[in-house]
Structure formats: structure tokens, C-alpha cells
Chain A
Amino acid sequence: DAGITQSPRHKVTETGTPVTLRCHQTENHRYMYWYRQDPGHGLRLIHYSYGVKDTDKGEVSDGYSVSRSKTEDFLLTLESATSSQTSVYFCAISTGPRNIQYFGAGTRLSVL
């Protein structure tokens, strides 16, 4: 599983509240990613990181921010959660010169 842990695994929250999801890796990989998975859309990239404090936007970054203050942790924050952000969120890392991606177990988020 490439040593990737996502927390929490499940969360229910209310519209307008802030939410932070955590991705933790144990193998010192440089690249980390956040995706969301919704029916009919496959997986879509939200943000990614190419090093400590180095991040960039993906395809669906509006309403999300990220931080990476140390190599092992990549945080995804919903500043003010909306019902459209109800989804399953996956963290991934990529390894080696081929950038092969490996995924965490996912976080199921429901915004009521």
C-alpha cells in the first residue's frame, strides 16, 4: 500500500463548516496528490505537491486548499464545506522516474 494513511476514513459534516483531511506517507515520496471520485466522473485531480511547501492546482481546485509543511503529510482543507463537495477523496503518491501512482484507502465525506 506504499505506506499511505488517510484520516479520517469517514466524516459527516454540515454545510459551511471547515474540514481538513490528512494524508500521511512513511516512505519519503516527493510527489503527493489529492483526487475526488464522483459517479460519472472517474477520479479528478484537486491539488498536488512536488515537495515541501510546493503545491499546484489540479482540474477541480475551487473551494479547496492544501498544505505540505513536511514531506510525510499532505493536508486538504475545505474552508467552508458545501454539499457539492460530498465525495470520496483519495490521496496518492508517485514513485520513481516513471511516476507510478499508488493510492490510499480513501475518505468518504458527506456534507449535509
Chain B
Amino acid sequence: GIQVEQSPPDLILQEGANSTLRCNFSDSVNNLQWFHQNPWGQLINLFYIPSGTKQNGRLSATTVATERYSLLYISSSQTTDSGVYFCAVELGGETSGSRLTFGEGTQLTVNP
């Protein structure tokens, strides 16, 4: 099956710093989503981004499908950004729902 690798596994920042999280995947994908799991365990969908660039407030994401990676940028980080960030992908050609394969996540801690 498809392999999804996220880096770094852990990241500690001071409030106000910027960061870049990376997701590499091993095959062509037709679906890529970024999720944030907050410290209480809730999973929130951040972006659907199989290619191109999107921005939502202080967060933005870029996927370069031909090179099989995606980046999540967090600017001016806040303590509420803490948690685990997951990248999830679906193989190209899948047509039944979205059978996502998740990476192991990046654990982000933002200190005040």
C-alpha cells in the first residue's frame, strides 16, 4: 500500500514562531487532506489539497503532486495550535468514498 511519512515527528515552538510540516507519499494520489487533532482528541479537517496551494488564516498548505509531497505552514503560532497534525492520502484511481491512509503525525507544542 501507499506509504505516508511526516516530518518532523515532534516540534516545539515559542508563541509567535513560524513552522513548516512536511508530508511525503510514495505513490500518485487523488486526495490529500490535513487534519489537526487537539489535545482533547478531537480531529478537525484543515485542508483538502491534492494539488496546489490554499490558505486559511494563519495556516496554508501546498501540495506538489508530481514530486509527491505536501507542506503545511503555520505562521505566528499560538498555544491553541498545539496538538498533532496528520496528513492523509488516497491512491489515485480509488473511486469508492475516500479510503485515506494516514501518516503518523507531527506532534506540535507551542509554548507561551
The chain B residues found within 8 Å of chain A, CB to CB, are: 1, 31, 33, 35, 41-45, 48, 86, 88, 90, 96-105
Contacts and interface: CB of A to CB of B under 8 A. Distances in A.
Contacts of A33: 97
Nearest to B4: A42
A40 B102 CA distance: 11
Contact of A94 (B97, B101, B102): B97
A-B complex: 4 closest residue pairs judged by Cβ atoms: A99-B98, A31-B97, A42-B102, A103-B43
B90 to A, nearest CB: 8
A101 interface: yes
22 contacts: A30-B97, A40-B104, A42-B102, A42-B103, A42-B105, A43-B86, A43-B88, A45-B100, A48-B97, A56-B96, A59-B1, A59-B101, A98-B48, A99-B31, A99-B98, A100-B33, A101-B88, A101-B100, A103-B35, A103-B44, A105-B41, A106-B41
Interface string A59-103: 100000000000000000000000000001010001000111111
B104 A42 contact: yes
Contacts of A106: 41-43
Contacts of B1: 59
A98 to B, nearest CB: 5
